[in-house]
Amino acid sequence: MDDFPPAIHLEAAHRPWPLPDGPWLMTQTWNDLLFAHWPVDTCVLRERVPAEFELDLYDGEAWLGIVAFHMTNVAPRLVPALPWISAFPELNVRTYVRVDDKPGVYFFSLDAGSAVAAGTARTLLNLPYFTAKMSVEVTDSGEVRYGSRRISSPKSPPAEFTARYQGLGDRSAPVQGTLEYFLTERYCLYAIDHSNQGYRLDIHHPPWPLERGDGEITANTMAQAAGVPLPDVAPLFHFSKRQDALAWAPTAIPCR
């Protein structure tokens, strides 16, 4: 973990709310990341997102994101990253929610190329992780060739994603109020724990070094597996070469 920046928590003026109290617990680095987004039916999402979480809309429109990347530096605080545990591909299907004016992410699924990581996250956080057979290749020209096929089990509906993509080099931080900011600048996730209690898990990262993305998705049944049909329109692509992040322990959301 020698390349993880040790003081990213000191850069916090851009955050929509202060850093959480208490120490952070985990590091992560997200590499060669694709954001693919579609506008989706709000009523369909409302049926599939727990009632504890208010849907977060942009100009009255709901969005679903498929986020492809590969992780490094996945390690608890004060524990060194281990190559065979701390680095693996991941593929997320997500939408956007808020609680108490804190906008965040709600995950329909998180596919990982590590059975250990998927099992640990399911056990500790009740997140909908699945194990998948995954591959990531970055060519000399910077194009990312990404493939994922979920490993079937009684609890995992079949799901597949294949794409090629790259950034266009116009890197900048998204401007507050824009759609790009709404889709990417998120500092927590929301989920339901094993006792059916809602919780928030705070994260922190620098502003996204975001680029417009270009590419092609050649196979995609990820949203279908989540029960959310995608419209017949081209996705909105964004790319980021790297983002470093910290994560805190989850905190319960008071019952309403």
Number of domain units in the chain = 1
Supply the pLDDT for residue 86. 84
Residue 152 has pLDDT above 90, yes or no: no
Domain that holds residue 135: 22-252
Supply the pLDDT for residue 251. 96
CATH number at residue 49: 2.40.400.10
Identify whether the C-beta of residue 229 lies closer than 8 Å to the C-beta of residue 112: no
Question: Which is more confidently placed, 180 or 3?
Answer: 180
Supply the pLDDT for residue 80. 66
Amino acid identity, position 30 = W
On whether residue 52 sits in a domain, the answer given is yes
Mean pLDDT of 234-248: 97
On whether residue 4 sits in a domain, the answer given is no
On whether residue 66 sits in a domain, the answer given is yes
On whether residue 6 sits in a domain, the answer given is no
pLDDT digits (tens, 9 = 90+) for 34-80: 999 999 999 999 999 999 999 999 999 999 999 999 999 998 886 76
